[in-house]
A and B are shown apart, each in its own frame.
Chain A
């Protein structure tokens, strides 16, 4: 009973179960998703709780799982989505899973390490290989240099060089005896080479020969080491000392140095060695990668299942931390909040859990009375979930307070539609919502926050669209054009002679003419069957009529909405048995509102029903203002006989309600306090300890005095808020008019400035232009009118609910019921 009308009745229940069956019981309760565990150890920090080690273990396992998942993503191994199996984790599983995870992690890390080392080796070998190949030319050159050095050395020798070499430093080798050139060969990153060269030049002033060449990047090299460009270099120098310095410079530039044999034969041998080593390495690398892929694929089959299990276990241990373990270590005491109507289900779940664990003792449920406020639980289904969410966004209802959600299902889309009011746009919105509903599952999988919000509100969008079609039909507005379904009630022909005043010359002289409804036949006397007459769409004074109509409609809707809110406060008072409040708060508020704003609505409706000449019709706004100012001698006529008396009576009544609201309730509280105090005082006079009691009474008095002031201030604030709020809230509802005007005007501007340009071209090319302009029209319609205006109207309708409607009755100071539910946990994980 009472599903959405009021939040559910909750009870505090004590559970006693055995430690062995704890896991299974909590597991069953988690699957049920209907209980909220209370924290029985509030003073204990997170690190002092009993099961903190187990929670840490679970978190460690989650970390390993995340690492595994990352590795799988890196190697492009798909994670298999497991079917939902009934996973019952227990304490044994924890240890098992832990060991499995640790093993897997170690294995994977080792494989990765080996892989990295092997790869590094391969890079080195490829470098040596390129080095060996390219230094062939250098050595030939060096040998010729050696022979050349015996010739006169004053000539600077320029050599023809092979095509690889791009720069060259030559030095005048000062000779004394046979030259002994030693060399250093290595590989350096290409971007570092110019700096390297400069440093060497500065240090050694050209007493060296440097050759370098770029290593051609082959496909394989790129796969192995990435797209880093490297250069081979070889430096010929004289002397060991210089060699050491150069070695240090090379280390500074992170160039890798390799020893290169001097003779051709040795070089060829080394080259062959390197080739064979590289082949071996490549094979080993391939095998390693295959093995790794195998390990990961095997793990991938279970990863989702494990993740779910670990999450559940962590939740169970966290819950166990909230419970009390008694001294004998055999019994666990837990306190839960659960809905009264679901006690039987909870009992069954506990019995099932204890049976599964094989314990002999069934858990005991013990309902306890408590003064604490239970959480607020509103049972929702997929349809009502969205509406409850937008109510809860402002404030979760106090326990057992009236829930505004069921009314919001109707009033929110309706107020949205009043502001949106266009059949065509409403139809588009409805179709979009239908598509959202059909694609809800696949859209959820995208895990984008924005799409989640939109998918969560799909039923709201559907209702908003359907209601917009309805209000669009009432405003007779479809993409800013009207439908003439039932035949307009206005005729133009009777305005001409002999019925009316117009002649052919009248048409030529005037640009604008006004249809006079008092001429016979112009207005048929029966208004258009449903909605606004289509003739207003082509009238130039359309806005004067529509503005007046929409403003009055907004005020009427607003006052009705607020009166409805006020009535709900009556229901609240009745439920909480605050009958005093009914008489002291609800009745004066109702009278105040009805006598002022109810009368305003009466004036509006009355003026609509009677026939008036528009030149002499009194303005309702001015009537209302004069009523409040008691100003009756202006020349404005009154609407009906006796209006003066009625209005004076109503205003006086309303004004009398204000002191009633302000003073009566605090005065009654004061009187009751006086009475209790006199009683207490009277009893204490018979006691012997007079001094003590007197001091305690004066203390008591002081407390009461301060809170008496508080009571008055609170009541004053409440009264002022209500009375002034009445006026400002009623005016606030005028946004219904404002936004619908904005929407209609935007729609008309879009039609006139975009689509009409294409329609007005009557020649053949008109259709092509029309095609392009229609595309622009549709894009702009969706972007401006549907998205922007839709969001704007959504927001304003929401604000009207949150502020103007709910401040008449809603307290909203509860806290939400958050049950232990594995469904919710796993949904957030997916």
Chain B
């Protein structure tokens, strides 16, 4: 089985740090979007029509908020995957260090 190692120890460590940060920050963003926080209004892609032609105000905007929130959660989940891969790389790097010396 060919070696699964494709990045050095430093890149793997950076990967772990980035993944942890990504998971925490993106999941918190997801929570805040789902809570329809007003501070994040500029990050929601609404248009004039969404406001004007809304049958059930502010249902459209709330729907958009939810969509962005779900996107954030999915991104957080992807970062969990990235973190797991980085963790594997770190472990493999450590094992290789062991074997050489």
Interface residues of A (CB under 8 A from B): 428, 479, 481-484, 534, 537-538, 752, 756, 759-762, 764, 766-768, 770-771, 774-775, 778
In the docked arrangement, what's the CA distance between A630 and B59, Å? 62
Contact of A775 with B39 in the complex, beta carbons under 8 Å: no
Number of A-B residue pairs, CB cutoff 8 Å, is: 64
**Set B21, B41, B79, B82: member contacting A538, Cβ < 8 A:** B41
Least CB distance from B74 to A in Å reads: 4
**Set A752, A762, A771: member contacting B75, Cβ < 8 A:** A771
Interface segment out of the listed B3-11, B64-72, B92-100: B64-72
Contact of A767 with B18 in the complex, beta carbons under 8 Å: no
Contacts of B82 in A (CB 8 A): 771
Contacts of A482 in B (CB 8 A): 39
Instruction: List which B37-51 residues lie within 8 A (CB) of chain A.
Output: 37-45
In the docked arrangement, what's the CA distance between A768 and B40, Å? 20
**Set A481, A484, A756, A767: member contacting B78, Cβ < 8 A:** A767
Least CB distance from A760 to B in Å reads: 4
Least CB distance from B40 to A in Å reads: 7
Interface residues of B (CB under 8 A from A): 18, 21-22, 25-26, 29, 37-45, 64, 67-68, 71-72, 74-75, 78-79, 82
Contacts of B79 in A (CB 8 A): 771, 774
In the docked arrangement, what's the CA distance between A752 and B44, Å? 12
Contact of A481 with B40 in the complex, beta carbons under 8 Å: yes
Chain A residue with Cβ nearest B26: A774
Contact of B45 with A761 in the complex, beta carbons under 8 Å: yes
Contacts of A774 in B (CB 8 A): 22, 25-26, 75, 79
Contact of A760 with B39 in the complex, beta carbons under 8 Å: no
Contacts of A768 in B (CB 8 A): 75, 78
Contact of A538 with B78 in the complex, beta carbons under 8 Å: no
Contacts of B37 in A (CB 8 A): 484
In the docked arrangement, what's the CA distance between A752 and B43, Å? 8
Least CB distance from A522 to B in Å reads: 16
Chain A residue with Cβ nearest B29: A759
Least CB distance from B38 to A in Å reads: 7
In the docked arrangement, what's the CA distance between A771 and B45, Å? 18
Chain A residue with Cβ nearest B63: A762
* Across the A-B interface, the 3 shortest Cβ-Cβ residue pairs: A767-B74, A760-B45, A770-B75
In the docked arrangement, what's the CA distance between A479 and B21, Å? 13
Contact of A538 with B75 in the complex, beta carbons under 8 Å: no
**Set A538, A752, A756, A762: member contacting B71, Cβ < 8 A:** A762
Chain B residue with Cβ nearest A435: B17
Known pairs A759-B45, A761-B45, A774-B75 / 10 extra A-B pairs, C-beta < 8 Å: A484-B39, A538-B39, A759-B68, A760-B43, A760-B45, A761-B71, A762-B68, A771-B22, A774-B25, A778-B21
Contact of B43 with A766 in the complex, beta carbons under 8 Å: no
Contacts of B22 in A (CB 8 A): 771, 774-775, 778
**What are 24 residue pairs bridging A and B, where the CB atoms are less than 8 Å apart in the complex?**
A481-B40, A482-B39, A483-B39, A484-B37, A484-B39, A534-B39, A538-B38, A759-B29, A759-B43, A759-B68, A761-B71, A762-B67, A762-B71, A766-B68, A766-B71, A767-B74, A767-B78, A770-B26, A770-B75, A771-B22, A771-B75, A771-B79, A771-B82, A775-B18
Least CB distance from A473 to B in Å reads: 15
Contact of A762 with B26 in the complex, beta carbons under 8 Å: no
Contacts of B72 in A (CB 8 A): 759, 767, 770
Contacts of A767 in B (CB 8 A): 71-72, 74-75, 78
Chain B residue with Cβ nearest A755: B43
In the docked arrangement, what's the CA distance between A534 and B25, Å? 19
Chain B residue with Cβ nearest A484: B39
Least CB distance from B7 to A in Å reads: 14
